[in-house]
Amino acid sequence: MTDWTPHTVRARDWFETLRDSICAEFEAIEREAGSDAAFEYTPWRREEEGNDDPGGGTRAVMKGQVFEKVGVNVSTVHGNFAPGFAASINGASDDSPGFTATGISLVAHMANPHVPAVHMNTRFLTTSTAWFGGGADLNPPIPYEDDTAEFHAAFRAACAGHNPTYYDRFSKWADEYFFIPHRGVHRGVGGIFYDHLECTDDSAWDRNFAFTQDVGRAFLDVFPKLVRRRMATAFTPAEKQQQLEWRGRYAEFNLVYDRGTLFGLKTGGNIDAILMSLPPEVIWT
């Protein structure tokens, strides 16, 4: 069986580098708006009975003038899935519950309703097998066709550099995944979502890691452009109300359907980091 430890370290190092680049760019946007807001970094350690090295992570949160609340989490954890939950994870079972996971997760809720909220995460997991997953989706309370088109174009290009089928497959997957069945609506305007990109050997790992890196780079390139385009747009009380009501749909999806939320809660993750995705202010009518 392949020892994936060196691969996990390489993936973790990339996720931390990506976090640092994203946080620096978001802070630069705050400076452009005349704000001195900065990320606050809080380390946390996972706890698991009988496990001397359960891992942990760092929660980075900023509340500013442009980014009402943005969190960028990086974690690397090891251990065993709880009985009953293991069977729901690729390559795991109650008889073989061991896992290692490393990843980055980001959610940004914006002060201006004309600026889209966004989610991005990428991850590498090992059980009896090893794979990459992740994606990004745009969540505008007030959609703009050109913003949606530019966001999708960035990820279409990232996909095209690796496999001509990826964008069609992964954008369709995002549309299916980021859907709120009890509301009958999508939570945003889509993006890409992928999972279980299997790493059968070093060559496959290198290919999937390179793609996952390009997903992160695509996000870092396109989202700040959309923020800068809209962050000074005037908005009305009615548009702010629209944003707060829309955030309720976002919260419903993350609490009821999101796999990452469930994974974090079932593996002893940091509660504040897991629920970082929830908006700071929301209205249900």
Kindly give the residue spans of alpha helices, DSSP state H, lying in 161-201: 166-177
Domains of the chain: 5-276 (3.40.1500.10)
* H/E element, 88: none
Catalytic site residue from 78, 109, 114, 119 = 119
119 labelled catalytic: yes
Q: Are 139 and 118 in contact (CB under 8 A)?
A: yes
Contacts of 6 (CB under 8 A, 6+ apart): none
Spans in the chain with pLDDT lower than 50: none
Contacts of 104 (CB under 8 A, 6+ apart): 15, 16, 18, 19, 72, 73, 74, 120, 121, 122, 123, 216
Within its chain, how far is the Cα of 269 from the centroid?
Answer: 15
Residue 246's nearest CA partner among 206, 187, 167 is: 187
Q: What pLDDT, in 10s, does the model give residues 214-265?
A: 999 999 999 999 999 999 999 999 999 999 999 999 999 999 998 888 888 8
* Confidence (pLDDT) at 123: 97
Residue 155's nearest CA partner among 141, 140, 142, 173 is: 173
* Confidence (pLDDT) at 79: 87
* Maximum CA extent, the chain: 59
* Confidence (pLDDT) at 1: 58
Burial grade of 275 (CB within 10 A; 0-12, 13-18, 19 or more): middle
